Structure 1
């Protein structure tokens, strides 16, 4: 037994880490199929890189919050197991790269010392729950959404209903109608609301369902104008259960929840949610926000005598990076982090700074930046002085020149063209030629290295998507230009239109053309998306058309941004959203493991967890046989119906009933001890019947 195990205080985490170590060993010795192992490690935040033999580790930080102690712990891990570089994602996570797979259990154990997890940071799970970074200090918020986001995170973490879905599932919490957490592009988005009932103010959420980006973005539907907070957790679980059962599992590009809703319709989906309520362990789930809120005290840091600067750099920074909080006398400071990348030596000093002079926390933002909260007005100049020493005092926070970009071809398997290289060049162009846009927070520029939209390019005013184009027999890096996206507030947004493809090296020319035309032709106070809608898609196609020609290419055009070698299109296997085809033996082994997990849950009196493990065991066992018979298994619901049609009705497998009748008891029974025990016994009989059929087939 490795020594790191003895240092893990949380037995649940210890079991997770030991299980990961065990599965790595089985994979190394060829006892687990590579595709199935990929699914398991992704659910533990371990993601394959473009570079062979190393992993990217995604650290899950709910709503982007990290304490000084946690940031120090993350720095220690990055220095010891990686390269000392930290990357902030658009989902408020931290990623570190170039980690050996065999060292990931020890890395996880190290993170757990300060209650930091990598569990369910990748894979087909409920991903990191995001929230407005200013939640709790936002002057416009009805209430602080932080304790509700935290409750949702803790409830869904390791929850059996969200471990092996057809695709990832994303949830956000916006602090106000400004919708800074972008509810309209999430599977589930929540916007804080207050309603008065009988003279009492009641908390709740506007609820949006079924949004998403990617190659086919979908605007979420408003399903509740007001959902009381005690219904938040039951609703989330019911929705995830429906998605888990009916979501596509074979066709990766059609497996997000938005496609399920588009396919069966919103009304039918909500009916399935309603039908799921009987099986839920909680009909109401009150969330204790008062304890959290009472614990939120304002800091009383030591005084520091620093003369307020009068130079232009400070005045610019004060104008764009300093924001008053709802707490009188306190301010939030925005820190631009180019491309979301910073190093551990800087992070450590930042952690010490907020521990001594602020409120011992920072929050990572949806635009790959950092905010420091609860800074006394008298210390703003001091913070500027200290941030300047760390090279973190650039002005223009959350403005046009503060470009969002995914890692692209730097490390991601799916990257087609360099997003980070393009972002660097475009930020320099804005700073040097259009400095006025470092004060504009309405016009946004975002870049993704592929269609999956990790850089959120298709909701930006000006978006660029990495791709490739052909020029005769040659291939060169290119950018798809998208225009007109916007977040309107109140759960409303506009997705950008695809306008034209251009060689990547012409990105700066395209941006110049767009900004020059906007300066010349926009009407007074007209936002970029309004200007785009007024003039229309074809106007901008014609504006940029000269840049799309491949008749006048130079050698320069065949070298992508940030590279020296000629471009080669090289796309690996996408993992984060991948759906894998499982081997029959692996599926049967998993079914057995889930029966064991069910028994453990029942021993701990976790009836609902045990029931869901039991349900998953039966579905996995049925899927194994259908896979061996080459029968389609594209959703859990279709697995159950296909098993009855092809195996039970034909008499090949005898269960004493249909699989549907046995499995779907989960929908019609409350999660009591009696039902949980009986359901597990039924599942054991199902597994025995399926196993007997399998052994007969193998030995025939």
Structure 2
């Protein structure tokens, strides 16, 4: 691969990019194993696609915010390195596909010129921190959560406590009790509250922990009804430290936060979190909201002439896509982006024509659309005319007709059947047969290509996920139908029930059956989920059962949406977890990197970071030796216990009170003195581990 010269002002980012280039070169030279390299690139936003030899690059946009310059930069980068398509995701990221691995460092350097990162967009890290797209303009919000979401993003980016956890960790900030960021389905979610503390109105958050979707959904538990705002980031760090130390690492399907809390119980989880508190670098972390920059609201009128081609559609768009901000003089408008895909050319047209008429703050929404802010009422017709010209003036944002879908078999390794194809077919059914539902925002339809719920089918009123069925020895694409999920508010939600599985090509008939039954039989003003509860799951199973009959299949049923050939399952290896193969040599190489990082942190007076790097030296050195002895390794606390049991207690390794030495991390403030002492102990342990390995090289594994 060719090297390139970075021209970045940020030395931290430049170092990241040079490091990525170095890792790619070592991988190409066969010096880094495939699985280890996978974890390295995932933590840098580079994700393998279904198609061999190309990558998906995930661009991390905290709380979904893009300036117009950043949006244009992403569009230009997509043209240069990808296909000219921008895919908006349910976690408010932007993804570009079909990128050459060797060009990813250069791509990152181009993005950074407008302060855009791909760092920790994938892998076993804190993923993109999401927030209600209305944050800052929501008429119902107690206060703007955006500064807090931004502070959390910056605090945990590159933070040693969350660089190589057992699995990913997702955080969401809702702007109000409406909970439009879905805190109940996140590892950690917060909702803003104001409460009197000693007679003073004080900002804080309701805090939810342990939620998640995937194949086994769990609703989050309440950690605090009210936690003062200054304590939020320290609490999140506490939780991450517990998750890092006690979370599952062998079985990726059991490695999320929700499973840790289910395993040890909430009471023990709270105790462990409290145990980490002394070691925190900050016991309180105030966010200076007074210094948060005010959004500059455009005040001028568009200079160009314009006209609206379809006034009737414009009125429908205003009714369904536009709302008044809490800033009474301004409106905000949602843009429906079908399947979250918008081209670079379309992006640049919108940027050019809307510059100066909307705020320099566009939000990617959690249902794969866009939010344009601070529009003067007099400018709204012009904004619509621009959207109409470019093809994004469709009414019905976040309605029944606005279906969320992951990319599915288009690009994802894990997808079982098409999600984008069936989504387009269902939207066509609604547009042509149920046009009145463009204003219905009660029913949400969400589709995933597999059970992992990237399309959030698990919290949909009507959800589908990709599956397969067999008939007469042949496999056909199928859809699992789920019903009854949704938001209740204030941190509470509903997980959808799995009702029945049907051939994929019958998805439109499933939708017709559900909508017709609801229209004909629901009481006046009865919400869909209330109707579902009244009728019960069994009723809907019987309603849809004829569509699951495999006795009258046609040739078309064996062809997936958007395909020409007969269906065949082709599921690859998923990369969402950034699984690491535990190679002893690679682990010890990583230990050397941790020692360098620890020394650097202490030299920069970042004592808490230096201590955590030293802790990683202890754990990974111990893990390497255990693996060399044939001992399976799982949680970090398990590694510490197993090292004492198999190597220290048997007298094979001289490290008295090893566990107490390692867990000093929780019994000391992160002072300079302790940081230096702990680092020296970790360094000495690593040297001893290296000597042990050399002395036992080639020895058979004797431990079980």
| Pairwise TM-score range, normalised by the shorter structure | over 0.9
Between the aligned partners of 1:335 and 1:159, the Cα distance in structure 2 is 35
Alpha-carbon offset, residue 579 of structure 1: 2.4
Contact 1:250 1:633 in 2 (8 A): yes
Alpha-carbon offset, residue 523 of structure 1: 1.4
The CA deviation string for residues 400-459 of structure 1, in whole angstroms up to 9 with x for no partner, is 000000000000000000000000000000000111111001100000000110000010
Q: How does 1:144-223 map to 2 (within 5 A)?
A: 144-223=144-223
Corresponding position of 2:292: 292
Corresponding position of 1:669: 668
Contact 1:354 1:372 in 2 (8 A): no
Q: How does 1:416-435 map to 2 (within 5 A)?
A: 416-435=416-435
Corresponding position of 1:13: 13
> Which sections of structure 1, spanning at least 5 residues, go unmatched?
none
Contact 1:67 1:351 in 2 (8 A): no
The CA deviation string for residues 354-392 of structure 1, in whole angstroms up to 9 with x for no partner, is 432111121000000001000000000010111101101
Corresponding position of 2:374: 374
Contact 2:296 2:360 in 1 (8 A): no
Corresponding position of 1:316: 316
The CA deviation string for residues 10-31 of structure 1, in whole angstroms up to 9 with x for no partner, is 1100111111111111111111
Q: How does 1:236-247 map to 2 (within 5 A)?
A: 236-247=236-247
SS in structure 1 opposite 2:208?
A: strand
Q: Is structure 2 residue 305 aligned with structure 1 residue 342?
A: no
**RMSD value over aligned CA atoms?**
1.3
Contact 2:399 2:444 in 1 (8 A): yes
Alpha-carbon offset, residue 309 of structure 1: 7.7
Q: Is structure 2 residue 396 aligned with structure 1 residue 396?
A: yes
Corresponding position of 1:251: 251
Corresponding position of 2:577: 577
Contact 2:302 2:382 in 1 (8 A): no
SS in structure 1 opposite 2:526?
A: coil
Between the aligned partners of 1:199 and 1:651, the Cα distance in structure 2 is 60
Alpha-carbon offset, residue 75 of structure 1: 1.0
Contact 1:5 1:14 in 2 (8 A): no
Between the aligned partners of 2:493 and 2:698, the Cα distance in structure 1 is 59
Between the aligned partners of 2:687 and 2:341, the Cα distance in structure 1 is 53
Contact 1:185 1:211 in 2 (8 A): yes
Q: How does 1:298-697 map to 2 (within 5 A)?
A: 298-303=297-302, 311-655=311-655, 657-697=656-696
Contact 1:477 1:503 in 2 (8 A): yes
SS in structure 2 opposite 1:596?
A: helix
The CA deviation string for residues 268-309 of structure 1, in whole angstroms up to 9 with x for no partner, is 00110101000000010100111115x333222235576778
The CA deviation string for residues 126-149 of structure 1, in whole angstroms up to 9 with x for no partner, is 000000001011100011110000
Between the aligned partners of 1:537 and 1:593, the Cα distance in structure 2 is 54
Alpha-carbon offset, residue 654 of structure 1: 1.4
Between the aligned partners of 1:525 and 1:630, the Cα distance in structure 2 is 64
Between the aligned partners of 1:567 and 1:584, the Cα distance in structure 2 is 41
Alpha-carbon offset, residue 207 of structure 1: 0.4
Contact 1:56 1:99 in 2 (8 A): yes
Contact 1:464 1:481 in 2 (8 A): yes
Alpha-carbon offset, residue 551 of structure 1: 1.3
Alpha-carbon offset, residue 43 of structure 1: 0.3
Between the aligned partners of 1:675 and 1:341, the Cα distance in structure 2 is 51
Contact 1:309 1:381 in 2 (8 A): no
The CA deviation string for residues 337-364 of structure 1, in whole angstroms up to 9 with x for no partner, is 0000010011112223343211112100
SS in structure 1 opposite 2:697?
A: helix
SS in structure 2 opposite 1:381?
A: helix
SS in structure 2 opposite 1:676?
A: helix
> Which sections of structure 2, spanning at least 5 residues, go unmatched?
700-704
Between the aligned partners of 2:342 and 2:411, the Cα distance in structure 1 is 16
Corresponding position of 2:74: 74
Alpha-carbon offset, residue 626 of structure 1: 1.4
The CA deviation string for residues 69-107 of structure 1, in whole angstroms up to 9 with x for no partner, is 111111111000001000000000000000000000000
Per mean C-alpha deviation after superposition, the further-off stretch among 190-199 and 126-135 is 190-199
Alpha-carbon offset, residue 227 of structure 1: 0.7
Between the aligned partners of 1:40 and 1:536, the Cα distance in structure 2 is 47
Alpha-carbon offset, residue 631 of structure 1: 1.3
Between the aligned partners of 1:308 and 1:204, the Cα distance in structure 2 is 45
Per mean C-alpha deviation after superposition, the further-off stretch among 470-479 and 411-420 is 470-479
Between the aligned partners of 2:646 and 2:493, the Cα distance in structure 1 is 46
Between the aligned partners of 2:271 and 2:48, the Cα distance in structure 1 is 38
Alpha-carbon offset, residue 200 of structure 1: 3.2
Between the aligned partners of 1:562 and 1:298, the Cα distance in structure 2 is 43
Counting matched residue pairs gives 698
Per mean C-alpha deviation after superposition, the further-off stretch among 225-234 and 350-359 is 350-359
Between the aligned partners of 1:308 and 1:30, the Cα distance in structure 2 is 59
SS in structure 2 opposite 1:536?
A: helix
CA spacing shift, 1:631–1:539, aligned 2, 3 Å: same
SS in structure 2 opposite 1:7?
A: coil
Between the aligned partners of 2:61 and 2:601, the Cα distance in structure 1 is 27
Corresponding position of 2:702: none
Alpha-carbon offset, residue 693 of structure 1: 1.2
SS in structure 2 opposite 1:356?
A: coil
Alpha-carbon offset, residue 592 of structure 1: 1.2
SS in structure 2 opposite 1:664?
A: helix
Between the aligned partners of 1:23 and 1:579, the Cα distance in structure 2 is 17
Between the aligned partners of 2:631 and 2:533, the Cα distance in structure 1 is 48
Alpha-carbon offset, residue 578 of structure 1: 3.9
Between the aligned partners of 1:197 and 1:600, the Cα distance in structure 2 is 41
The CA deviation string for residues 165-211 of structure 1, in whole angstroms up to 9 with x for no partner, is 00000000000000000000000000011113455321111100000
Between the aligned partners of 1:447 and 1:96, the Cα distance in structure 2 is 20
Alpha-carbon offset, residue 310 of structure 1: 7.6
Q: How does 1:22-101 map to 2 (within 5 A)?
A: 22-101=22-101
Contact 1:68 1:354 in 2 (8 A): no
Contact 1:4 1:109 in 2 (8 A): no
Alpha-carbon offset, residue 661 of structure 1: 1.3
Between the aligned partners of 1:215 and 1:270, the Cα distance in structure 2 is 26
Between the aligned partners of 2:502 and 2:308, the Cα distance in structure 1 is 47
Contact 2:205 2:228 in 1 (8 A): yes
Alpha-carbon offset, residue 5 of structure 1: 3.5
Alpha-carbon offset, residue 629 of structure 1: 1.8
